[in-house]
Amino acid sequence: MPPPILIIDCDPQVQQLLALNLRQAGHQPLCALDAESALLMLESLAPELLLLEWDLPGQSGLALLRRLRATPRSAGLPVIMLTARSAEADKILALESGADDYITKPFSPRETLARMHAVLRRQAHAAAQLAAQAAHAGAGAGTIQLAALRLEAATQRVVAAGRQLSLGRVDFRLLQFLMQHPERVYSRAQLLDLVWGADACVDERTVDAHVGRLRSALQPSGHHDHIETVRGSGYRFTACTAAGSAAVPA
User: Is the pLDDT reported for residue 82 higher than 80?
Assistant: yes
Q: How far is it, in rounded angstroms, from Cα 46 to Cα 3?
A: 7
**pLDDT tens-digit series, residues 147-180:** 788 998 888 889 988 888 888 888 999 999 999 8
Report yes or no: 200 and 118 within 8 Å, Cβ to Cβ: yes
Report yes or no: 168 and 76 within 8 Å, Cβ to Cβ: yes
Q: How far is it, in rounded angstroms, from Cα 51 to Cα 80?
A: 5
Least confident of 3-12, 106-115, 218-227: 218-227
Q: What is the pLDDT, as a whole number, of residue 130? A: 55
Q: Residue 80: which pLDDT band, with cuts at 50, 70 and 90?
A: very high
Report yes or no: 65 and 94 within 8 Å, Cβ to Cβ: yes
Residues 45-63 have a mean pLDDT of 95
Q: Residue 18: which pLDDT band, with cuts at 50, 70 and 90?
A: very high
Q: What is the pLDDT, as a whole number, of residue 137? A: 45
- Every domain of the chain with CATH number 1.10.10.10 lies at 139-237
**pLDDT tens-digit series, residues 106-125:** 999 999 999 999 888 877 76
Q: How far is it, in rounded angstroms, from Cα 84 to Cα 89?
A: 13
Q: What is the pLDDT, as a whole number, of residue 202? A: 67
- Every domain of the chain with CATH number 3.40.50.2300 lies at 5-123
Q: What is the pLDDT, as a whole number, of residue 102? A: 95
User: Is the pLDDT reported for residue 214 higher than 50?
Assistant: yes
Phi, psi at residue 246, to the nearest 5°? -80, 0
**pLDDT tens-digit series, residues 55-72:** 999 999 999 999 998 887
Residue 232 burial (CB < 10 Å; 0-12/13-18/19+)?
exposed
User: Is the pLDDT reported for residue 192 higher than 60?
Assistant: yes
Using DSSP, state whether 235 is helix, strand or coil: strand
Query: Sign of the CA dihedral 49, 121, 194, 155?
Result: positive
More confidently predicted of 137 and 142: 142
Superfamily of domain 5-123: Response regulator (3.40.50.2300)
Q: Residue 196: which pLDDT band, with cuts at 50, 70 and 90?
A: confident
User: Can you give the pTM of this predicted structure?
Assistant: 0.62
Q: What is the CATH number of domain 139-237?
A: 1.10.10.10
User: Is the pLDDT reported for residue 12 higher than 90?
Assistant: yes
Q: Residue 205: which pLDDT band, with cuts at 50, 70 and 90?
A: confident
